Amino acid sequence: MFPSPSFPLTAETWLRVGPYIPVLLRGLGVNIQILLGLIALGFVVGILIALLEVYAPRPLAFVGSAYAWFFRGVPEIVLLFLFYFGLSRTFNIPVSPFLAAVLALGLRSSAYQAQIFRGALLSIPHGQMMAARALGLGPVRAIFHVILPQALRLSLAGWSNEFSSVLKDTTLAWGIGVVEVMRQAAYIRGRDFPLTLPIYLTVAFMFLVLTYAGNWAIGAVEKRLRVPGLETRR
Amino acid sequence: MTLLTVEDVHKRYGREEVLKGVSLTLNRGETKVVIGPSGTGKSTLLRCVNRLTEPDSGRIWLENVEVTSAKTDINHIRAQIGFVFQDFNLFTHLTALDNVRLGLVSVKKLPKKEATDRAMAELERVGLRHKAKAYPAQLSGGQQQRVSIARALAMDPKLILFDEPTSALDPELIGEVLAVMIRLAEEGMTMIVVTHEMGFARSVADEIVFMEGGVIVEHGPPDRLFRSPEKPRTAEFLRRISELYGQEGR
Amino acid sequence: MNLVFDWAWLPRLSQGLVLTLELTALCMGLGAVFGALLGLVRVYSGGKFSPLYWLASGYVHFFRGTPLLVQLLTIYFGLPTVGIALSPFWAGLVAMTLNTAAYQAEYFRGAIQSVKAGQMMAARSLGMTRVQAIRHVILPQALRLVIPPWSNELIYMLKYSSIVSLTRLDAGTMDLFGAGRWIQSRTFRYFEVYIIVALFYLALVLILTLVLRWVEGRVRIPGLGTPRRSV
Ligand SMILES: Nc1ncnc2c1ncn2[C@@H]1O[C@H](COP(=O)(O)OP(=O)(O)O)[C@@H](O)[C@H]1O
Ligand SMILES: [Mg+2]
């Protein structure tokens, strides 16, 4: 099906990758935009879902759980197609592929982030809430001033996992036509076929750097925010 | 007559020299009890005997075979030396019966039927035949330690090394394990026992060895050593022990 | 706007479901063998001084640090340029297997390392060789401890197998999602088709989760591993 010509990976081939790197980086920039958008969306919705699951009365808590269950059980690529083609074609809502990607991946991430926050919320000793209430704080203020700050610190470890997985998932936006790094790679492939392998390997390398740099940064933040005595049990 | 010879064994961990030249001999049928403050190298010494820890220098013989020689098949030696650990180390995923049987099948290559019979007999010997199907987590500490003794016995060892076999046990469970060990001594098993159970030491030891700081400070028959220790360090240690555990030891 | 669902979609979706299960089973099975080997190498090859250790670690870091989609496209589009051409199905299976092997290697490594050190020592004290001790004592425990993370990985790969048709949609990649795309391209019922596909995946995830928990309960041994929290 492929002609299978052979273009060995010589130094000369690698040198020809150089001029394409700015294009790839521009593509990668879009991945990072998706990443930031989806993490922010996932963070806000995730906290809401977690609070619902932990503190809301039963029917509401159940809605939160059902939501999380749906978004955890459906593949990312199906969500992307559902949000992009479903909204834009079936319901005639004009969403761009980029926006659909942020929505689909962000809501999916919210389900996972909710799981992380929920675990953290549940691991905060009951006495903390009681002490806050004893000071006269209402339930909402108690949650925001006492429980959440502790829970968020505890969440950072789980969060670093979620970060590296959503970073990689941004490439799936390629499937609905977002012009991100995979799309740029495909353009280059079309223009300069012998470079296909080195281009993809370069993309892989870029993600390797991003993944490890990101995890390192989260680790550093975790250290900065560490409060003696407040630790995740391992 | 001599079963085990340990000659000038040294061992260091990093900068710290844990064994500073330890020698001893053990006759067949003899029970030696090793006492001494913690951190003085008692466990390290026992582990050097079957090279679970590799000594830095010195030589060890089991009968005429040099344990420390590079040419010796150490697994063959270990199969002849039982080891009972402070925290039992029963195989978590195996029933009591399978714990005792594993060495027979995988090391001694006994046929399954024969191994099962032998393993059941050893469980019987430590009074736990009825617990053959239980997993370690379903047994009390004392029962676990008895299974681990059965596991060692099943291999027909020439010698058993006990490393504080009752230290991890609740006081009320210590007796059942000591009872098994006392019977072994009476039956003529050769044993080295690291323990703080002075009552046990007094009644079954042929010799007490007092170790401190990586050397053997003093050794001798229990009567003499307990009544009139030669070295002040020994006397001091014995006094502290009796303060901790009462006049008779436990 | 009116939503249209059609029973005529069912046969193709069911075929897709079978392919999804096949892909998942194959990559998880092959990945388990390869992953267990990698895990063993990372624990027992002698650490930082052994080239094998570095090879295995490099492999694990590379495949965990890069997107599966990049791996898939590298294999499907990139390898033909050096003379290795795979069909969309095989490219998908190879990418998924190589990828999950790296993750499974980490789960195996974690499981092996959580077997207490005393277990190895007790085995060696009976005269077992290292290989015997690993085989009779360490692995049987590690294999049980690895079940919960392995189950999560299986669910993950079940969902992620949906990207196989992104290289090319043909008979070999007509999995659940591929079948959805195929139906959608003929009916133009976007939302309806993908919501049905989503429900199929949800049902699969639910059933497999229950099955895996049942298996975990069946092979559970008292005292080994911690019981799963209910909920
Ligand atoms: N594997 C090891 N690595 C480093 N140091 C060790 C190790 N095992 C024992 N030690 C050290 O050697 C010393 C003697 O230990 P050990 O033989 O266990 O003493 P004892 O059994 O008399 O309490 C201790 O200081 C201990 O910390
Ligand atoms: Mg000790």
Contacts of B62 in chain C (CB under 8 A): none
Confidence (pLDDT) at C153 = 95
The finding on whether B15 has its CB within 6 A of some atom of ligand 1 is: no
The reply to whether residue B136 touches residue C223, judged by beta carbons under 8 angstroms, is yes
Q: How far is residue B246 CA from its own chain's centroid? A: 24
> In this structure, is the dihedral angle defined by the CA atoms of residues C99, C103, C108 and C113, taken in order, positive or negative?
positive
> In this structure, is the dihedral angle defined by the CA atoms of residues A146, A152, A155 and A157, taken in order, positive or negative?
negative
Q: Determine phi and psi for B19, rounding to 5 degrees.
A: -120, 125
pLDDT at C53 over 70: yes
pLDDT band at A233 (very low <50, low <70, confident <90, very high): very low
Confidence (pLDDT) at A234 = 35
The finding on whether B39 has its CB within 6 A of some atom of ligand 1 is: yes
Nearest CB to A2 within list C80, C166, C195: C80
Quote the CA–CA distance of A213 and C16 in Å, as a whole number.
39
Q: What is the pLDDT of residues A67-115, one digit of tens each?
A: 999 999 999 999 999 999 999 988 889 999 999 999 999 999 999 999 9
Residue C203 CA: distances (Å) to CA of A71, B119, C153, C199:
13, 49, 17, 6
Confidence (pLDDT) at B136 = 95
Report which protein residue has its CA nearest ligand 1's atom 8: B44
Q: For residues C142 and A224, which has the higher predicted lDDT (pLDDT)?
A: C142
The reply to whether residue C198 touches residue A4, judged by beta carbons under 8 angstroms, is no
Contacts of C221 in chain B (CB under 8 A): 92-93, 135, 137
pLDDT band at C206 (very low <50, low <70, confident <90, very high): very high
Q: Determine phi and psi for A218, rounding to 5 degrees.
A: -65, -40
pLDDT band at A1 (very low <50, low <70, confident <90, very high): very low
The finding on whether B131 has its CB within 6 A of some atom of ligand 1 is: no
Domain A12-225: give its CATH code: 1.10.3720.10
Q: Give the number of residues written for chain A.
A: 234
Q: Say if the ipTM goes beyond 0.90.
A: yes
Instruction: Please give the distance, rounded to the nearest whole angstrom, from the Cα atom of residue B16 to the centre of ligand 2.
Output: 16
Confidence (pLDDT) at C17 = 96
Mean pLDDT along residues A197-209: 96
Q: Are A112 and A161 in contact (CB under 8 A)?
A: no
The answer, yes or no, to whether C and A have at least 3 beta-carbon pairs within 8 Å is: yes
Three-class DSSP category at C226: coil
Confidence (pLDDT) at B45 = 96
Name residues whose C-beta falls within 8 Å of residue B64's C-beta, 6 or more positions apart in sequence.
Answer: none
pLDDT band at A229 (very low <50, low <70, confident <90, very high): low
Confidence (pLDDT) at C227 = 56
The finding on whether B44 has its CB within 6 A of some atom of ligand 1 is: yes
Nearest CB to B52 within list C125, C137, C141: C125
Quote the CA–CA distance of C217 and C209 in Å, as a whole number.
12
Confidence (pLDDT) at C72 = 97
Report which protein residue has its CA nearest ligand 1's atom 13: B39
Using a 10 angstrom Cβ sphere, with 0-12 exposed, 13-18 middle and 19 or more buried, the burial of residue C140 is middle
Q: Are B185 and B200 in contact (CB under 8 A)?
A: no
Q: Locate the domains of chain C by residue range.
A: 9-219
User: Where would I find the H helices in chain C?
Assistant: 10-44, 51-65, 68-73, 88-114, 117-125, 130-133, 139-145, 147-160, 176-187, 190-218
The reply to whether residue B78 touches residue C118, judged by beta carbons under 8 angstroms, is no
Nearest CB to C119 within list B78, B79, B91: B91
Beta-carbon pairs below 8 A across chains A and C: 138
Q: Which two structure tokens, joined as six digits, stand for A116?
A: 């992380």
Quote the CA–CA distance of B112 and B101 in Å, as a whole number.
9
pLDDT band at A153 (very low <50, low <70, confident <90, very high): confident
Rounded to 5°, the CA angle A100-C175-C60 comes to: 80
Using a 10 angstrom Cβ sphere, with 0-12 exposed, 13-18 middle and 19 or more buried, the burial of residue B92 is buried
What residue of B is the nearest CA neighbor of C131?
Answer: B106
Q: Are C44 and C134 in contact (CB under 8 A)?
A: yes
Domain C9-219: give its CATH code: 1.10.3720.10
Q: What percent of chain B has pLDDT over 70?
A: 98
Confidence (pLDDT) at B250 = 46
Confidence (pLDDT) at A154 = 84
For chain B, give the secondary structure using H, E and C: CEEEEEEEEEEEECCEEEEEEEEEEEECCCEEEEECCCCCCHHHHHHHHCCCCCCCEEEEEECCEECCCCCCCHHHHHCCEEEECCCCCCCCCCCHHHHHHHHHHHCCCCCHHHHHHHHHHHHHHCCCHHHCCCCHHHCCHHHHHHHHHHHHHHCCCCEEEEECCCCCCCHHHHHHHHHHHHHHHHCCCCEEEECCCHHHHHHHCCEEEEEECCEEEEEECHHHHHHCCCCHHHHHHHHHHHHHHCCCCC
- Shortest CA gap C128–chain A (Å): 32
Amino acid at B151: R
Confidence (pLDDT) at A230 = 60
Report which protein residue has its CA nearest ligand 1's atom 16: B41
Lowest mean pLDDT: which of A112-116, A146-150, B37-41, C100-104? Answer: A146-150
Q: Are C95 and C25 in contact (CB under 8 A)?
A: no
The reply to whether residue C124 touches residue B79, judged by beta carbons under 8 angstroms, is no
Q: Determine phi and psi for B226, rounding to 5 degrees.
A: -75, -35
The side-by-side arrangement of strands in the sheet containing B191-194 is: B81-84, B159-163, B191-194, B31-35, B207-212, B215-220
The finding on whether B54 has its CB within 6 A of some atom of ligand 1 is: no
Three-class DSSP category at A228: coil
Instruction: Please give the distance, rounded to the nearest whole angstrom, from the Cα atom of residue B245 to the centre of ligand 2.
Output: 18
The reply to whether residue B52 touches residue C140, judged by beta carbons under 8 angstroms, is no
Q: What is the pLDDT of residues C151-191, one digit of tens each?
A: 999 999 999 999 999 999 999 999 999 999 999 999 988 99
Report which protein residue has its CA nearest ligand 1's atom 12: B18
